Structure 1
């Protein structure tokens, strides 16, 4: 991949990743619940989904999804329903006691649970597949070896997304951590992030 093409890829990826969405909301929610350091597990789950999207597009399945309205809509509805489920569950989450009990509750949020949630939050977005279907060909030279180009694209996309999610959105949640020390603060934050999940679900359903 030529340096100029890679720089264009890098710039486009930064712009895409910095745009708030379900992944950013999930990352900030995790950072508030378990702290900045452990929130990386949710980010890693999201990166696995991003990798899956790229592989799906590279394998040609993305064309099938994009050209099959019933399949596209089925994935879209499932994804929206999952985000609503996460939002409602967060809104009705019982506030945890401060200090030692809260620390125990944070430990109870396992790495596997965050990894799994991050994966499904990103994977169940068919528009991401369609987006990559339009995005990836702009940076792939079909007359050059394909595999090295895809490896560079994957490394760039995943690397930038980890930096943005963990280095920006997770860090951005840190000033709000003090609100998690009171039951009222937890309820407010849970309600806000729960509503954001539901809002993203609505966008997924109604904005085409």
Structure 2
């Protein structure tokens, strides 16, 4: 891939990652509840989902999903339902006892965060449609395809990890003081729970 084309790909990748969505909300919530460093597990789960989307589109299956209203809607509503589930779970979650400002309570395992990050991104058919429109701009069919797809995948994933971890997860640290009180935890649970449900509504209603 030519340098100019790669720079355009990197720029597009940054803009995509900076766009707030379920992945960013999930990352910030993980950072607040389990700590900045451990939030990387949820981010890695989201990246596996991104890689799966790239593979699906590269194999041509994405065209089938995008061209089948029934299949697309099944995935779309399943994704929305999962986000609603996450939102309601946060809204109903009971806050823990107050703790010191320097401590972080680990509430779930790395595998649990990884799995949730995977499903948050995987059950989003709009990502497939996006990659269908996005990927052809940076793939040259007259050149070997596998190296191009590898460069595209590594670039998009690397940029998304950096943005999610060093921007969204780091930004959540400024709200860490709220996790030190029962009232603060309740407010954060309601805020992030509502955000998950709002994103679910957008996913379900916007075509």
Taking structure 2 as the reference length, the TM-score comes to 0.97
In the alignment, the residues of structure 2 paired with residue 98 and residue 24 of structure 1 have an alpha-carbon distance, to the nearest angstrom, of 26
Partner deviation per Cα, 1:55-84 (whole Å, 9 max, x = no partner): 010111100000100000000000000000
Counterpart residue number, 2:161: 162
Deviation at 1:108, TM superposition (A): 4.0
Residues paired across the two proteins, number: 206
Does the 8 A contact of 2:99 with 2:181 survive in 1?
A: no
RMSD (Å) for aligned C-alpha atoms:
1.3
* Alignment-derived partner of residue 95 in structure 1: 95
CA distance in 2, matches of 1:91, 1:46: 23
Return 5+ residue gaps in structure 1 as ranges.
none
Match of 1:117?
A: 116
Paired with 1:89 and 1:34, the residues of 2 have a C-alpha distance of 16
State how far apart, in whole Å, the 1-side matches of 2:35 and 2:58 are. Answer: 35
After superposing on structure 2, the runs of 4+ consecutive aligned residues of structure 1 that deviate more than 6 Å are none
Measured against aligned partners, the alpha-carbon deviations of 1:71-117 in whole angstroms (never above 9, x if no partner) come to 000000000000000000001100011238xx68x334100000000
For residues 167 and 42 of structure 2, the distance between their equivalents in structure 1, rounded to whole angstroms, comes to 14
- Aligned pairs for 1:78-157 within 5 A: 78-99=78-99, 106-157=105-156
Check if 1:4 corresponds to 2:19. Answer: no
Q: Is the 8 A contact 2:35 2:106 kept in 1?
A: no
Deviations 1:110-156 (A, max 9, x none): 00000000000000000000100110010000000001101100110
User: Cα deviations across residues 145-184 of structure 1 (Å, max 9, x unaligned)?
Assistant: 0011011001100000000000100001001011001111
Partner of 1:58: 58
TM-score by length of 1: 0.96
Unmatched tracts of structure 2, length 5 or more: none
